[in-house]
Amino acid sequence: MDAVTYPDEIVADYIDDTFIPLRISSDTQPYADDFNVKWTPRIIILDPTGAVHQSNVGFFPPEEFIPSLEIGLAKVDFNQDCLEECRQHLNRILASHPQSFSAPEAVYLKGVVKYKMIGDAKFLKEAYYQLQERYPASEWARRAWPYRLL
């Protein structure tokens, strides 16, 4: 991450604009135990109260890191029932990073958000068909599989 991703100008700008960045050694106690850190890099997104909304292990190249962070922010908003803000994060992922590993999850979550906002199950079914069409090999296409029956 130090050699490739964090020095990337777009990544640095994104982090600077969007997050309060906190970095500690994986052997720092009590945090290593509190967060059950067993391998690095371990990258966690928390809200200002300290609640964890996303946790990842392993290297991300710049083109995957930004959409990964954006979907983490979408989860922060989703978990706090800020659905419109969540939808905006998801739209940005799908518009700017449609080939990223985070894009299929964004389609899935966007279907869920629209369902929760409007109350119509057709949005879950639409998410299933979009995933089948655009990301058929993704795990999210499989997770949406029951929605075809709606």
Partner 1 sequence: MNRKFEWKSDFLEVFEKARKENKAVLLDFYNPG
| Cβ–Cβ < 8 Å for 11, 67 | no
Cα distances from 101 to residues 84, 119, 120, 138, in angstroms, run: 23, 28, 27, 9
Residue bearing tokens 């290297």: 59
Among 76, 109, 112, 144, which residue interacts with partner 1 (rule: CB under 8 A)? 76
Shortest distance (Å) from residue 72 CB to partner 1: 7
> Dihedrals φ, ψ of 53, to 5°?
-120, -20
| Cβ–Cβ < 8 Å for 68, 101 | yes
Q: Does 33 bind partner 1 (CB under 8 A)?
A: no
Q: Does 45 bind partner 1 (CB under 8 A)?
A: yes
Shortest distance (Å) from residue 32 CB to partner 1: 7
- Footprint of partner 1 on residues 49-68 (CB under 8 A)? 49-50, 53
Residues 6+ apart with CB under 8 A from 95: none
Q: Does 83 bind partner 1 (CB under 8 A)?
A: no
Which parts of this chain interact with partner 1 (CB under 8 A)? 1-2, 6-7, 9, 12-13, 15-16, 18-27, 31-32, 35, 37, 40-50, 53, 69, 72-73, 76
